[in-house]
Structure 1
């Protein structure tokens, strides 16, 4: 049964181009009111005007910008239902001789801190509406990415964050979108290499199809892969080995969240 999205409100970081802009168009077509958040003011305003939404300049590395973006969404439209934390960059550096501390810090600030800040400031508004967070991670967060280990580490952290938050709230769904190489600006330095080795490049529309499956779904704490030639679905993580009691029996509390249990009991 189709999910009714008319009248809902979405905030999209990195919304001026690529996946963010395409998601803004798809949501707007479904009746969602959209707040486009980005550092690219000119292009961000173009997208916002195109979808009948509003634009807010938002540098996701700055906590106050995320707070202001959420406040604007609530002020303009009275609510927030979807926080699509999508802003991200590649690095192109390894941990070898080409390692650059500033590149590393900037990538982490955008790819990971931006999701943390966005989620933190969006949660109160989303809990009021029973809304959801979708964070753009990557296949690099699910498998090794030797060519850009910093990016892979950032995206793996986003996946871990989403999985943890998915079990932390009963009133907000939290999921990750994990595309492979998609036809966006982030692959510009890699495009010729990808084409030479025959690596498929995903159309952005395929990524947004998966995004909409998450929006219209009911799961939480999931990491949806988007891979060429595959039907997108949540990645099936194996259960890690849990602790055993002295007699070799399972410790049942470990199946839940032992840290949260311990904190509540302390």
Structure 2
């Protein structure tokens, strides 16, 4: 048990946190990044609903944060709506949605292509963000606004030849954040993405030996959670925050697309 977890269990909230009075949903909250996010938001005063297909792990985290657990398959639209309804029933509304559920693709586009694996990864990595956003927007609007943070990846900012389908999922999440953030701003709803490199989570388990062998640093889950808290308590929207070992997290600066040039025969 980490010091953060020990505090969460042993010390009740005393008020005054940056998120005091706020209600948060965390998908993929049973372990790794989602676990750290749930604990961090609770320490900041939020009341948290932990959502995951891992009931045992999800309930453990919910107990740690003094919140509630809800089993949820984020690839199913109705499950996302039921999750939001659950949060509203227990806490009266929703202010923050961390759409964090995700998984590795596990196949490529060659002879190893597997339609079921592809659909499963798309369902978690992209559909979960789209369906989760669609489900939570009415609840955020009812509160006068709120914050959505989707977990993307550095794979959404760069080419990933080892897993092009995962990169495609995460590039889509980045594109959604950049496009939807400004669109929702007039409603006081902020939509951002967080883009970690190799961070401590189940998703890197197949790569862990390789990372250790090549001495590539693994980003602590707490670093990602702290960045998410900065995003939630900030005022930016449409941003994609990169998290890379040895660097301070910050919004990625996208280059401007070149404007139209003169026709070649002009």
TM-score (normalizing by structure 2): 0.89
Once residues 244 and 32 of structure 1 are traced to their aligned partners in structure 2, the CA distance between those partners, rounded to angstroms, is: 51
Once residues 261 and 196 of structure 2 are traced to their aligned partners in structure 1, the CA distance between those partners, rounded to angstroms, is: 37
Which SS does the other structure have where 2:150 is aligned? strand
Structure 1 position 124 matched with structure 2 position 138: yes
Q: How many residues align?
A: 245
Partner of 1:239: 256
Partner of 1:215: 232
1:244: how far off?
A: 6.8
Partner of 1:201: 218
Which SS does the other structure have where 1:69 is aligned? helix
Once residues 203 and 231 of structure 1 are traced to their aligned partners in structure 2, the CA distance between those partners, rounded to angstroms, is: 13
Partner of 1:111: 125
Q: Are the aligned partners of 1:3 and 1:216 in contact in 2 as well (CA < 8 Å)?
A: no
Partner of 2:165: 150
TM-score (normalizing by structure 1): 0.89
Partner of 1:83: 97
1:132-211 alignment to 2 at 5 Å? 132-169=147-184, 170=186, 171-211=188-228
1:210: how far off?
A: 1.0
Once residues 259 and 67 of structure 2 are traced to their aligned partners in structure 1, the CA distance between those partners, rounded to angstroms, is: 47
Partner of 2:26: 12
1:3: how far off?
A: 7.6
Q: What residue ranges of structure 2 are gaps of 5+ in the alignment? A: 1-15
Q: Are the aligned partners of 1:92 and 1:147 in contact in 2 as well (CA < 8 Å)?
A: no
Q: Are the aligned partners of 2:17 and 2:43 in contact in 1 as well (CA < 8 Å)?
A: no
1:190: how far off?
A: 0.5
For residues 176-216 of structure 1, what are the alpha-carbon distances to aligned partners after superposition, in whole Å with 9 as ceiling and x for unaligned? Answer: 01000011111000000111122111011111121111011
Task: Give the RMSD, CA atoms, in angstroms.
Answer: 1.5
Structure 1 position 22 matched with structure 2 position 36: yes
Q: What residue ranges of structure 1 are gaps of 5+ in the alignment? A: 247-266
Q: Are the aligned partners of 2:40 and 2:226 in contact in 1 as well (CA < 8 Å)?
A: no
Once residues 92 and 121 of structure 1 are traced to their aligned partners in structure 2, the CA distance between those partners, rounded to angstroms, is: 28
1:128: how far off?
A: 2.4
Once residues 77 and 198 of structure 1 are traced to their aligned partners in structure 2, the CA distance between those partners, rounded to angstroms, is: 45
Once residues 249 and 237 of structure 2 are traced to their aligned partners in structure 1, the CA distance between those partners, rounded to angstroms, is: 15
